[in-house]
Amino acid sequence: MAENGVHLISTDEMTGIQALERAYPTKSMIPGEVKRIEFEYIRHGTLSLIANWDIFKGQVIEPSIGPTRTEIDFANHITKTMDTDPEAGWIFMVDQLNTHMSESLVKLVASCCHIDIDLGVKGKKGILKSMKTRWCFFKRPNPSHSFCVFAQTHLLVKPD
């Protein structure tokens, strides 16, 4: 697939990463003593990491680090990733976290794949009504995109 201009990406989040700073510098080794790392630290809150593993290249591409992990954060991360190669096709393998079936992601997929239909209203009607209806949107066959279930993972293909 990599040679056909399609990126195969495994994407996941790590939340609650503590941003810590050592309160005192590490003491260097001196003859007869071991290096000593001070145990006290200063907390600077937590961060969330959203990372992509490029399956074919075997490397992380376009990670996002921020204070939150919302559906908007995830959709922006996917957009930022696709912007690295806008002419390519993209397959994102993600788990079934709610942000991976969000209103924002449905709108992004519809836009990228030129799906010009009424998506409905979140919580009220149509594709956007519920997690279940959004999940069905990603699963159903469509000539302009496919979103398939593979065990606990789903794949999103953005056509060129």
Give residue 160's pLDDT.
Answer: 46
Confidence band, pLDDT 50/70/90 cuts, at residue 149: very low
The answer to whether the predicted template modeling score (pTM) of the entire model surpasses 0.85 is no
Give the model confidence (pLDDT) of 97-132 as tens digits.
Answer: 888 889 999 998 888 878 889 999 999 999 999 988
Give the tokens for residue 122.
């979140």
Radius of gyration of the chain (CA): 21
CA angle 118, 85, 75 (to 5 degrees): 45
Confidence band, pLDDT 50/70/90 cuts, at residue 70: very high
> What's the DSSP call for residue 43?
E
